[in-house]
Structure formats: structure tokens, C-alpha cells
């Protein structure tokens, strides 16, 4: 394909106009990206400040008295656990018989 001299003159002027439009598009995209980054940075900073506070209960000590109902609940749990362990030991003693549990009768 041959380019005539007149076509070359037209193409050169259009090439500069196209380069200007392309540069504007590129700068617009870069500006949009910068604006987006700024907005994202502001949101992250706001979230960091919002979450950064400590709670009022942090650092306080809980002391369990023997008179409080919460400590009685703990004692009841220990008693239940001891009862369960005792029943398990008792079941083991009953099943210590060597003949029990070895054969299963499935006849009806």
C-alpha cells in the first residue's frame, strides 16, 4: 500500500491530535486511580480508628467468691463429674466378669 504525499500530510496532523486525545485519556485514568486510592485510604483509616478502641471490660479481674451462685454452679459440675466417674468405675467392675459380653444371642 502506497502512501501519497498529500495523505501523509493529513495523517501527520491527525496523529498529533490522536496523541493529545490519548494523553488526556491516560491522565484521566491515572487521576481516577489516584482518587480511588485516596478514598480507599480514608475508609481504611476510619475503620482503623473505629476498631482501635479498647472495651471497658478489658483488663478487669473477675474474682469468684464461694458465696456467689456462679461458683456453686462450678461445684455442682465437679460433683456431677465425680458421680459419672463413679458410675463408670462401677460398670467396669460389673463387666469385669469374663463371660459377659462375649456372645450375642440373636435367636428368637
Whether the model clears a pTM of 0.75, i.e. scores above it, the answer is no
One domain for residues 37 and 75? no
Q: Which residue has the cell 459377659?
A: 100
Per residue in 14-71, pLDDT (tens digit) is 888 889 999 999 899 999 999 999 999 999 988 888 766 666 777 777 776 655 555 5
DSSP 40-67: HHHHHHHHHHHH-SPPTTTT------TT
- pLDDT surpasses 60 at 96: no
Q: Write out the residue range of the structural domain in which residue 69 sits.
A: 63-94
Are residues 35 and 80 located together in one domain of the fold? no
Instruction: Clarify whether residues 67 and 45 are in a common domain.
Output: no
- The confidence band for 11, taking pLDDT boundaries of 50, 70 and 90, is confident
Q: Is residue 82 part of a domain?
A: yes
Please indicate, yes or no, whether residues 28 and 6 belong to a single structural domain of this protein.
Answer: yes
Counts for the chain of helices (H) and strands (E), in that order: 2, 0
d(CA 49, CA 72): 42
State the burial class of residue 64 (Cβ atoms within 10 Å of its Cβ: 0-12, 13-18, 19+).
exposed
Amino acid at each position: 500500500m502506497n502512501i501519497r504525499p498529500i495523505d501523509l500530510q493529513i495523517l501527520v496532523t491527525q496523529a498529533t491530535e490522536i496523541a493529545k486525545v490519548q494523553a488526556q485519556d491516560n491522565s484521566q485514568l491515572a487521576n481516577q486511580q489516584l482518587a480511588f486510592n485516596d478514598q480507599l485510604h480514608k475508609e481504611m483509616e476510619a475503620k482503623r480508628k473505629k476498631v482501635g478502641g479498647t472495651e471497658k471490660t478489658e483488663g478487669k479481674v473477675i474474682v469468684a467468691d464461694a458465696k456467689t451462685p456462679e461458683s456453686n454452679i462450678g461445684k455442682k459440675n465437679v460433683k456431677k463429674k465425680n458421680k459419672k466417674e463413679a458410675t463408670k468405675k462401677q460398670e467396669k467392675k460389673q463387666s469385669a466378669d469374663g463371660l459377659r459380653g462375649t456372645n450375642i444371642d440373636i435367636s428368637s
